[in-house]
Amino acid sequence: MHEFGFELALCSHLEATTDSVVARQLGGTVVAPGNRIVDVVLVEQGPEFDARTRITDQRIPTLAVESDVGVGSAVYWKDAFDCHPERAREVTDWALSVGFFERERGGRGRHGGREYVRRTTRYPDWFSSLTAIENKPDLGTPGDLERQLRTDVSLALFDEVILATESYVTRAHLNRIPEQVGVWRFDPETGEREVVREPTTLTPESTGVELLDRQPLRTDVAFVDAAEKARVRRRVAEKAYGKGWRSYDLPACAHATATADGRPYCEHFGCVVDPGADCGASCTAAEPSDPPAVDLAALRDERSPWVANPAGVARRQVGLDRFR
Ligand code: SF4
């Protein structure tokens, strides 16, 4: 089974066996975004998780959370951000569209044509620990694995780092990876998971070291303090909440179906497929058709703590907007 199938099987297993939010393919660095994409992220629920589910099923922009827009008095949107006005406008519109901001009752006229906004609710304390999981089904072809795991441990953006593999794990394998990294052996066919080694909890609340570049005679690093990490952790958690792990379109092919948990399955080849890599013009067996009619969001709602289409928390405008 290739890495994509392994990854989806692991995500489905974690969704069924934990009450964490499970997501795939999220950035795991601070200074150089994109330098490290984490295969699977687990977001453990915090004390106010239910409050988060009531706001929106989408990602809340973290710049809106960090802005001076509060729950009490409405503020002029432009004054509430410490960034370029174009970006501030984008974030304001985004926060309005997901129901985290609302316009001042009474409309624009009340403030001389300026748009005033407030939060619909306090931003809840909805997540606790974050776990990064690196998938390497075959430890015989480790690629850049060791460097990636060392980066994760020294930066400590996540509370725990896990290596998941299908291979038999030898002592030599364990010796090559940082001792703080936990190791799971996972069978994607049966869904059995064996904990080979427990992870050591890292310290996101202290300064970490991010590896930026490594050349034969020099290594570039950046120090990342706890406040910056906290901001990025919130961004990771929000992205995970909005995105989940079924972040693919099912193949537009007559041979495509979906497994009961929503993984893309090819009846012609008899396996889970990666729609982005396996399907389309490059597949000799492809038969263009409508994609399978499967509601992936409904499956996520049914099988995880994420709530689709919540009513939202914005106060009713009682038609005042029509006086604008
Ligand atoms: S495009 Fe190919 S791999 Fe994808 S579902 Fe169709 S036959 Fe299967």
pLDDT digit string (tens) for the chain, length 324 residues: 589 999 999 999 999 999 999 999 999 999 998 889 999 999 999 999 999 999 999 999 999 999 999 998 899 999 999 999 999 999 999 999 999 999 986 555 456 678 999 999 999 999 999 999 999 999 988 888 998 999 999 999 999 999 999 999 999 999 999 999 999 999 999 999 999 999 999 999 999 999 988 888 888 999 999 999 999 999 999 999 999 999 999 999 999 999 999 999 999 999 999 999 999 888 999 999 999 999 999 999 999 999 999 998 976 544 444 333
Tokens 């005033």 sit on residue: 116
Give the CA count within 13 Å in the CB-facing half-sphere of 235: 17
Query: Domain 3-49+126-243 falls in which CATH fold?
Result: Trna Endonuclease; Chain: A, domain 1 (3.40.1350)
C-beta 202 within 6 A of ligand 1 = no
Alpha-helical runs (H) found in the chain: 3-17, 49-55, 62-66, 85-97, 145-155, 171-176, 226-243, 275-278, 296-303
pLDDT at 136: 95
C-beta 269 within 6 A of ligand 1 = yes
C-beta 279 within 6 A of ligand 1 = yes
Distance 254 CA to ligand 1 centre (A): 8
Annotated domain spans of the chain: 3-49+126-243, 61-122, 256-293
* CB proximity list for 46: less than 8 A, separation 6 or greater: 124, 125, 126, 127, 128
Single pTM value for the model: 0.93
Alpha-helical runs (H) found in 244-318: 275-278, 296-303
Distance 276 CA to ligand 1 centre (A): 11
- Kindly give the number of the ligand 1 atom that is closest to the alpha carbon of 267: 8
Nearest to 260 by CA among 249, 272, 275, 269: 272
Give the residue whose CA is nearest to atom 3 of ligand 1: 279
CA-CA distance, 227 to 66, in Å (whole number)? 12
- Kindly give the number of the ligand 1 atom that is closest to the alpha carbon of 283: 2
pLDDT at 129: 97
Give the residue whose CA is nearest to atom 2 of ligand 1: 286
Q: What are residue 228's phi and psi, to 5 degrees? A: -65, -40
Distance 268 CA to ligand 1 centre (A): 7
C-beta 195 within 6 A of ligand 1 = no
C-beta 283 within 6 A of ligand 1 = yes
Cα-Cα-Cα-Cα dihedral of 73, 79, 84, 85, to 10°? 80
C-beta 64 within 6 A of ligand 1 = no
CA-CA distance, 7 to 181, in Å (whole number)? 18
> At CA 15, angle to CA 130 and CA 161, rounded to 5?
30
CB 154 within 8 A of CB 180: no
